[in-house]
Amino acid sequence: MKEIIEDTISRDKKFQEERRRRVEHLRAIGAPDIMIETEEMISRMTVAEYKAYCQRVREDEEKEKSAYASKNPIRKSIVDEIYYRESKLECDYHTYMSDTLFMMAIDPLDFMSKEDYDKDLYKAFLDHIKEIYADRCTEKFRENK
């Protein structure tokens, strides 16, 4: 039991030291105060406290997204545009391998609001077209072998 306690204390100390180094780095690069303050708060937590904090943040984000979705119905025109844009993409290995390049190719902020995108209102459809694109490209890559 003593070893478990010592291990926990050691991991907490290492975690806090790493987070303090992050605070110093953020200060050195002139990061916004809110980032530094958040990192300072985290640097005083234990690993268990940090995990609980992260869980609370995730739960709060999910509640916020649910509230947003209940007030903002999904529009057929945006869903249609999502699928249309996927259908026009050429299979490209780099786009296929990179979620970032895929999203850049679809460019959802061109036809939906930033809030809709940030609140994941159309996330299910965007995830679905990634699967469609991957399946289509995988088949094409197999044919070209």
For the entire predicted model, the pTM comes to 0.73
CA distance 120 to 85: 18
Q: Residue 95: pLDDT above 90?
A: no
Quick one: pLDDT at residue 4? Answer: 80
Q: Which of 35-44, 98-107, 135-144 has the lowest mean pLDDT?
A: 135-144
What is the full DSSP assignment across 62-101? HHHHHHHHHHSPPPHHHHHHHHHHHHHPPP-HHHHH-HHH
CA distances from 130 to 65, 104, 115, 139 (A): 22, 12, 21, 14
Q: What is the pLDDT of residues 2-56, one digit of tens each?
A: 788 887 889 999 999 999 999 999 999 999 999 999 999 999 999 999 999 999 9
CA distance 36 to 54: 17
